[in-house]
Amino acid sequence: MEGRLSAHQPFLPKHSETSRNDEMNQDKKLQRKDETNDQALQDQDMMRREGLDRRNIWEPSVFYALGKESFNFAGHEINIRESMDSYGALIWPGGIALSQFLENNQQQINLMDKAVLELGAGTGLVSIVASLLGAWVTATDLPDILSNLSFNLRQNTKGRSRYIPQVAALSWGQGLERNFPFPSYHYDYVLAADVVYHHNFLEELLNTMLHFCRPGSGTTLLWANKIRFQSDLQFIECFKSRFNTTLLAELPQENVWIFKATSRE
């Protein structure tokens, strides 16, 4: 009879179809999460291999080996001590590119007697170059990076720089109003090199840039980065939407872009 279940038709509760849809959606979410985690691991492995290639010291039993790289900028030999224990203790292409740009474009970017802050200073190469070019520099990074950063700054600027460079701890997006209140902490330039890669603090990084380059501050941000991942391009789009930006230079061989940015009034 119409409306009666056949002997072979399973009985399904009214909510069963919804439950199946929910389960399928949950499976898709888990699959996307697994794919995201896999991509993150691949990206991190790529960064690790890039770092090892730069040092050319792959010795599995000595992962924390120290290395040195030498550069000539602003009329001085700069010796940088590196370490393999973190990304922040290595020199990356963006830092070299920004250092070269600052040296070669002093009429366009005059750092003499300017207050300069570097975000994610790492080994300190960019801060050293800015200091040798006459800037009053504050180099910032995570607390565990500061010892090597301070060493490199001290070794390469003592007796050479107009001002003694300062070092300060700064975790992106944390305690900015408390530790760096405006206008007490005002900078003519904010520098950043290779601070965008596959990490979980891109939003905090953008908020930190906005904090120091706020409307009315007159602060100019100079940011150089090697473009490695799709997330880098996504960050650039967000960056452009929040700042007035100019692409100052593009280095195809290294895939490094250098941007100048000011706040949107």
**Positive or negative CA dihedral for 56, 59, 64, 67?**
negative
Q: What are phi and psi of 242, to 5 degrees?
A: -105, -15
**Dist. CA 182–CA 20, nearest whole Å:** 54
Given the candidates 3.40.50.150, 3.40.50.2030, 3.40.50.300, 3.40.50.460, the CATH classification of the domain at 87-263 is: 3.40.50.150
pLDDT at site 116: 98
> What tokens appear for 221 in the block?
């941000």
Per-residue pLDDT of the chain (265 residues; tens, 9 = 90+): 444 434 444 444 444 555 566 666 666 555 655 544 555 556 556 656 665 555 544 333 333 445 788 999 999 999 999 865 555 578 899 999 999 999 999 999 999 999 999 999 999 999 999 999 999 999 999 999 999 999 999 999 999 999 999 999 999 999 999 999 999 999 999 999 999 987 889 999 999 999 999 999 999 999 999 999 888 999 999 999 999 999 999 999 999 999 999 999 8
List the domain boundaries for the chain: 87-263
pLDDT at site 86: 55
Give this prediction's pTM: 0.79
What single DSSP character describes residue 85? T
> What tokens appear for 251 in the block?
């280095």
Beta strands in 7-149 (DSSP E): 66-73, 76-83, 115-119, 136-141
What single DSSP character describes residue 186? -
